[in-house]
Structure 1
């Protein structure tokens, strides 16, 4: 099962996860928008709710007559995220207001209820350390609890691994709905490395061994997680970042379920 989509430089919009990937994911659509200075991009959200996450640069984003101006981010490692929520059935326009390239992650999932557009600024992002020792990482919630009642099903955040450290660890999954124990959600990762020539290792496996793969992931690669445990590790010397977003059909609740074979590391002193 080929779950990695390799990086590809492209000006304009590039669909990375879409209808061509429906054999793996049913609910998630993902792309990257790259705009040169002064350029604009207009699109219809159609039947998908959309979160536009600014990765670098500066822009104005207008959504059905509501304009969010002065949005900036040096890069994902230097500043917290800025994002804009676009409801279903809305037209949006992104204008690059920076002197260099502006890059935006476009996260989409089908939805039915229409909400109001809103902006998430860096001060609205909830950051926290998760784990300990060499599985300590920093997690940023962008559109999670702060968006309850303002979105349909989409959840978006970012994770930062220090060099050599693990995240999504102990290995967890969210593919078998059990109320209060485990959510059922698809997920997509999009990676960045610092320095850019770095890499990480992305694992995905199931208890029965029907899926058991490890991929070397690099700067601007993306990864689809239809099911299974999915820990990731940064190579020594390189910081690893990934944007993550997810959606499920049952409810909008983040409840990962640890692999019981490895959950003991949480208690180890």
Structure 2
């Protein structure tokens, strides 16, 4: 299954969405959502996997290796994320401070030992992509927490995208051999968008998840009136880490700042 529908609100506790040992359509990661109530505590430890915890919204306490940090994010559209990234064999404790908090949890195998890092909101500065091209039809916000440039030891790449209402992202259409996961939120929550996976198109709604495998092209678009947020998580392949997209050549002309067909004025 390439699209996973979450039709109801997540229950409190850890909600598994994708498992690393899936036989069919394996994305090579564990991926899920941790929902915490006030004063609720959850702990994590992995003997063979690195872990990353991305705060989607709420207020929580991260505790790891003698560190204790309180982090807060009112919502995922207007504020940058906090991300805790740890290697294997590290205990992580998370305590909820608000009535409801949501944290994305992603894990994958990694034998490398590296220094744990809490990426703050300054580390995840927004980048405006697509601005000034094609009548702003693919202008969007991209936030990268970590990738090969600042975490070459990791087997993961993790970030977020905000689609403005009615606009495209992951455009021009592109692909890469590394598996990727998109997890969606909408504002207002009743919104929807479309995710292209190769020659197929899936409608996506609040809390849906999509696996992008087998080098499928994967542009995205959201309906007018609805902003679309998605987490993008890439699993680097052994000896072949993600270094950037491969664009469809027939559509790459749209990156030209002078690209314009109609209207001519």
Q: TM-score, normalised by structure 2?
A: 0.90
Is residue 2:161 matched to residue 1:159? yes
Q: 1:78, 1:120 → 2: CA distance?
A: 17
Q: 1:26, 1:233 → 2: CA distance?
A: 23
Q: Structure 1 residue 105: deviation in Å?
A: 0.2
Paired residues, number: 250
Where does residue 139 of structure 2 map in the other structure?
Answer: 136
Where does residue 199 of structure 1 map in the other structure?
Answer: 192
Is residue 2:82 matched to residue 1:82? yes
Q: 1:264, 1:198 → 2: CA distance?
A: 30
2:61–2:94 contact (8 Å) kept in structure 1? yes
Q: Structure 1, residues 2-32: CA drift from partner, whole Å, max 9, x if none?
A: 3111114211001101046442124222100
Higher strand share: 1
The equivalent position to 1:213 in structure 2, one of 197, 200, 204, is 200
Question: What SS does structure 1 have at the residue aligned with 2:144?
Answer: strand
Where does residue 179 of structure 1 map in the other structure?
Answer: none
Q: 1:68 to 1:245 in 2, by over 3 A?
A: farther
Is residue 2:202 matched to residue 1:239? no
Where does residue 111 of structure 1 map in the other structure?
Answer: 110
Question: What SS does structure 1 have at the residue aligned with 2:39?
Answer: coil
- Deviation beyond 6 Å, 4+ runs, structure 1: none
Q: Structure 1 residue 127: deviation in Å?
A: 1.7
Q: Structure 1 residue 78: deviation in Å?
A: 2.1
Where does residue 263 of structure 2 map in the other structure?
Answer: none
Q: Structure 1 residue 190: deviation in Å?
A: 0.5
Q: TM-score, normalised by structure 1?
A: 0.88
Q: Structure 1 residue 236: deviation in Å?
A: 0.6
Q: Structure 1, residues 8-60: CA drift from partner, whole Å, max 9, x if none?
A: 42110011010464421242221000011000001212211111000111111
Where does residue 53 of structure 1 map in the other structure?
Answer: 54
Which stretch of structure 1 is more off in the superposition, 23-32 or 213-222?
A: 23-32
Question: What SS does structure 1 have at the residue aligned with 2:200?
Answer: strand
